[in-house]
Every structure is written in structure tokens, then in C-alpha cells.
Amino acid sequence: MLNRVLAALAAIVIVCSPALAQSGDPERGEVIAFTCSGCHGIPFYKNVYPSYTVPRLAGQNEGYIISALKAYRSGARKHATMQAQANTLSDQDIADIAAYFVSQAEESE
């Protein structure tokens, strides 16, 4: 029962989140996100030290992409390459990149 209530709440959150999210421009995002392709556009590309596969991003939540990039930019989340990249991004850049990643998932469905 509790699970059903939670699932229903989650569905509402997911359905409503595009309206709540900062509006990003996926076309501008595509241009800015070209840098990201060097690692995230290569399937199974490995991060070094520690060595692990860089995360999959297509279909990821827009809000999570935004909060992750902002956490890298502020230094709250640590990763040398991602902090260096995020340092160059404005709030609008971040919103546009997230919108582009989301639009990609919609295309692939």
C-alpha cells in the first residue's frame, strides 16, 4: 500500500518536473555539450584514478544533471575534470546542457 502511494507521488513529481525545471535551450545545450562528448559520448569510457566507467547520462533526470553540475562548480562534489569543466559554466549553460541531454533520451525512445 505504502509502495503504491509512493509510486503515485513519484509519478506526480515526474510528470510535473518539466514544468518546474529551469527552462533550458537544448539547441544551445548541444553546442556547449560538445566538450562532454570527449568522455560521456564514448560508451564505456573509463575514468582514471580511481578507474571506473564514466556515468551514463542519456535519459537522466534534468534536475539531477543541473544539481550535479552546480555541485561540481561549487566544489561540493569532487572530481578534478568535472570541477574544471563546471567552473566554466553559467547557470544558463547548465540548464541548456541538461535540456539537451533530456532531449536526447526522448529521441532514442
Partner 1 sequence: MNRSILACIAAGLLLAAGFAEASGNPGRGQELSSQVCASCHGVDGNMALAEDYPLLAGQHRDYLVVALKAYRSGDREHAVMNSFAQNLSDQDIEDLAAWFARQDGLGELSFD
Binding site for partner 1 (CB under 8 A): 3, 6-7, 9-10, 13-14, 17, 20-21, 33-34, 36-37, 40-41, 43-44, 50, 52-64, 66-68, 76-78, 101, 104-105, 108
Q: Which is nearer to partner 1, 7 or 84 (CB)?
A: 7
Query: CA–CA separation, 99 vs 103, rounded Å?
Result: 6
Please tell me what DSSP assigns to residue 89.
-
- Nearest approach, Cβ of residue 97 and partner 1 (Å): 11
Q: Which cell goes with 78?
A: 569532487
Neighbour-count burial for 50-69, b at 16+ CB within 10 Å, e otherwise: eeeebeebeebbbbebbebb
Minimal distance in Å, beta carbon 47 to partner 1?
8
Which one-letter DSSP state was computed for residue 75? T
- Would you call 52 helix, strand, or coil by DSSP? strand
- Nearest distance, CB of residue 28 and partner 1, angstroms: 15
Q: How many CA atoms lie within 13 A of 106 on its CB side?
A: 10
Task: Please identify, using beta-carbon distances, which residue of 55 and 87 lies nearer to partner 1.
Answer: 55
For the bound state, the minimum distance from the C-beta of residue 29 to partner 1, rounded and expressed in Å, comes to 11
Compare residues 25 and 30 and give the one whose CB is closer to partner 1: 30
